[in-house]
Amino acid sequence: MNLKIKIKPKVAYLVSIFMALLVMFLFFYKATIAYVIHKELYGGGLDVLVLLRVSIAAIMLLLVILFIQFMKISDLKSQNTILKGMFIGWTSTFIVLIVTKLSSIYFILLTGISSLIVLITLFSLIDQIKEEKNTLTDKEIYLLQKLAKKK
């Protein structure tokens, strides 16, 4: 599939990092507010709502760390597999937000844009993989030259 728009995997990872950080900060903020309200009303302890929001913020932090590590991978087939997983994750989040919380239009738009960017990156990566199959590496060229000189 030849697309005119080419997006590198690094851009998709940066967009996903931005989205995960945004969600992490939002849930950490909501957890802090819920903790302060719970402390004022009941005098202490942790509420289930606070723990769930902190847990979601921690999961988003782990996702940010994973995305940073994924940026270091240079193998195109591995990148393709990772990006497929990211596309499934962002698309499912997009659909769940539409079904459950239609009022949060900003997050619906942001997850939809993230999903679209990852999809375009996937198509670009598939084209790069096809081009890579048709070219020889430096080592293969060297070995072919050595073989040609022996005859």
What's the pLDDT tens digit per position in 64-106? 999 999 999 888 888 999 999 999 999 999 999 999 988 889 9
Residue 56 is predicted with a pLDDT of 93
Residue 122 within any structural domain of the chain: yes
Question: What's the CA angle centered on 95, arms 86 and 126, to 5 degrees?
Answer: 35
Q: Tell me whether residue 4 is in a domain.
A: no
In a domain, 2, yes or no: no
Pairwise CA distance, residues 129 & 126, whole Å: 5
CA separation for the pair 97, 99 (Å, rounded)? 5
Taking the model in full, what pTM does it have?
Answer: 0.80
In a domain, 81, yes or no: yes
What residues make up the domain containing 63? Answer: 9-150
In a domain, 3, yes or no: no
Residue 128 lies in a domain: yes
Domain membership flag for residue 132: yes
The 3 state secondary structure assigned to 49-114 is HHHHHHHHHHHHHHHHHHHHHHCCCCCHHHHHHHHHHHHHHHHHHHHHHHHHCCCCHHHHHHHHHH
Token code pair at residue 8: 């590198």
Residue where the block lists tokens 């940026």: 71
Residues of the chain with pLDDT under 50: none
**Could you give the number of structural domains in the chain?**
1
Residue 15 forms part of a structural domain: yes
Hey, how many other C-beta atoms are within 10 angstroms of the C-beta on 119?
18
